[in-house]
Amino acid sequence: MTEPEPDATRLPIGVVLGPIAVPLRWWIESARRLDAAGYAGVWCWDHFMVRAGPPKPVLEAWTTLTLAAAATSRVTVGPFVANVMNRHPAVLARMAATLAEAAPGRVVIGLGIGGHPVEHEALGIPFPDIPERVRRLEEAVAVMRALWTGEPADRPSPYYPLRRAAVRPAPRPTPPIVIGGQSPGGARLAARIGDGWTTRSDLLDRLLPVYREACAAAGRELGTIVVGFEDGQSGVDSIVGTPWANEPRAEVDRWRARGATGVVVTARTTADIDALVAAAER
């Protein structure tokens, strides 16, 4: 996602730093290098376990992002994307507000319904069916925005009721919420409740018309449209030799011509970070 106030000298590219089987120091140092090189944002996946195979170390997203905020000065920081079932939205709202104290104007919340049921079963975290997770996501966004006003909030809800809830500090500016959606229903949900929408690169052409139509039907302007590139696996280079390393501005322009307003690529290795820094220097 691009910065809140875009700087023409910075590459309009966000980078998801893979949190699997990497030292925390590597993650933070990579974030610092990307900030210094001029990238727009650093992001972290919100998983507690690997999807398959033997157990591997996995960094917790919000702890990692807090340390990254303290180590950087210009990049946006946020989860790509937070699973709504992993944290009560009131807790998530407080975490985001505190992070915003460390990085004013640099926090962006990616939020989605989650999609790793094995992780939930293993850890005893509820994972209801898709319709309920969608309802919970809608309620979570409403709860977070109500709490971010800093004023007493009362909201009836079957999932997250508020009763004279006033919690401060209220983040200023309020972090934008970008909804992850990989289906027509997800694109419509983002149009209804999000400040933006993110989807995989292979889904953009099919889902962008749905998102545009849903925004028009809701009487809302188009939000930020972030395309995510998530191919690859932990420990394996995914940037080296790609257009993101060889001609990043031209590649961004190609995706903007297709309707995206921002892009997020994934880096998992030191070689990936070296390639991104070298691309920025050119």
116-146 CB burial, b ≥16 within 10 A, e <16: beebbeeeeeebeeeeebbebbbbbbbbbbb
Q: Please give the C-alpha separations between residue 165 and each of 145, 151, 156, 267, in angstroms, as whole numbers.
A: 12, 8, 12, 40
- Whose CA is closest to 161, among 83, 90, 87, 84? 90
Fold of the domain spanning 11-281: TIM Barrel (3.20.20)
pLDDT (mean) for 241-255? 95
Grouping H, G, I as helix, E, B as strand and the rest as coil, residue 11 is strand
- Whose CA is closest to 42, among 61, 19, 21, 68? 68
pLDDT digits (tens, 9 = 90+) for 119-129: 999 999 999 99
Check residue 9 and give its pLDDT.
63
Check residue 1 and give its pLDDT.
43
- Whose CA is closest to 225, among 175, 268, 190? 190
pLDDT digits (tens, 9 = 90+) for 188-237: 999 999 999 999 999 999 999 999 999 999 999 999 999 999 777 787 88
CA angle 272–207–216, rounded 5-degree value? 125
